[in-house]
A and B are shown apart, each in its own frame.
Chain A
Amino acid sequence: AQSVAQPEDQVNVAEGNPLTVKCTYSVSGNPYLFWYVQYPNRGLQFLLKYITGDNLVKGSYGFEAEFNKSQTSFHLKKPSALVSDSALYFCAVMRGANNLFFGTGTRLTVIP
């Protein structure tokens, strides 16, 4: 079965430092992987996705993610964190019927 895991419930990073939010996947075949962000009392906003091609995917708000097949990972990264990046981040994998299975989420706090 297609699934993803987010091993960290909480990530804290100082403003201006690089940030990483981890995601690992378990799929058969080639995965379609997504990252979404959720701000308080808001729906999910799409950040980026990996379908095929270049393993480094660039997305919204300066975020990027690297697809690593050997490590079955799709970690979200940003070179320099902003306080406004503080939010809940979800990794997801697309399943056969083209719906999404979400991870449990990682709360990112950027400390001024």
Chain B
Amino acid sequence: EAGVAQSPRYKIIEKRQSVAFWCNPISGHATLYWYQQILGQGPKLLIQFQNNGVVDDSQLPKDRFSAERLKGVDSTLKIQPAKLEDSAVYLCASSLGLAGETQYFGPGTRLLVL
């Protein structure tokens, strides 16, 4: 079974530029998550989708971050404009979405903002 796919794996941009990350979840997983992992910290949830609807985006900086999952399968996370403090690894995960179900993570996208 294929795992969670993410691209690109690495991205370097200058501050105030925009960037987009793509995620394709495990087939059949209704729930998709985006986490931000800053160096030396644990992952922090940015947004959670159930099919194509948003379940939780309370920690998403909505003035600069946006995400969509239009057809309920793959998802795109965008940052515009980027700030230095956005340098982090962006992890995508998916699960069946039921209570107690395991989340499976992709390899992540490492973003460096200069």
Contact = CB atoms under 8 A, between A and B. Distances in A.
Contacts of A74: none
A100 B99 contact: no
Contact of B105 (A43, A98, A104): A43
Interface stretch (B14-22, B40-48, B60-68, B71-79): B40-48
A103 B48 contact: no
A94 interface: yes
Contacts of A111: none
Interface residues of B, number: 28
Interface string B1-18: 000100000000000000
Contacts, number: 61
B99 A90 contact: no
Nearest to B6: A43
Q: How large is the interface on A (under 10, 10 to 19, 20 to 34, 35 or more residues)?
A: 20 to 34
Given A97-B48, A97-B55, A99-B33, A104 B42 contact: yes
B95 to A, nearest CB: 7
Contacts of A103: 42
Interface string B88-111: 000101010111111111111010
Contacts of A105: 40-42
A16 to B, nearest CB: 29
A102 B50 CA distance: 20
B107 A43 contact: yes
Of all A-B residue pairs in the complex, the 4 with the closest CB atoms, nearest first, are A102-B42, A43-B105, A44-B105, A51-B100
